[in-house]
Amino acid sequence: MDIIKAAGTPAVFVRSAGPFRAPETAESRPILSDYGLRVAPVTITERRAFARAVATGRAVTEFEPDGKAAEKVRTL
C-alpha cells in the first residue's frame, strides 16, 4: 500500500478467484475499503470457464464470450 500511495498512481482492488456465492466475498468489500483504495464493483468468482480458457490458450472472453465469466470481465 505504501508503494501504491507513494507512486500516486490510481489503483483499485479487484477481488478475484473468490468462491461463488460465498458470504466472505461480500464481507471483504468494507475491509478492503479501509485501506483507502477503491474496490471494483465486480468480483471475479471462480468459474470453470476460466480454467478451460487457459487450457486452450485463450482468454475467457474468447473461449466463452456469452458466458457469465466473460460478462464479469467485460463489466470490470
- pLDDT of 8-65, one tens digit each? 888 999 998 888 788 888 888 889 889 888 999 888 989 999 999 999 999 999 999 9
The DSSP annotation for 13-63 comes to E--EEEPTT-HHHHHHHHHHHTTTSEE-S--EE--HHHHHHHHTT--HHHH
pLDDT of amino acid 37? 85
pTM of the full predicted structure?
0.75
pLDDT of amino acid 24? 83
Helix axes 48-55, 68-75, angle to 10 degrees: 90
Return the domain boundaries, the chain: 1-45, 47-76
pLDDT of amino acid 20? 78
pLDDT digits (tens, 9 = 90+) for 56-68: 999 999 999 999 9
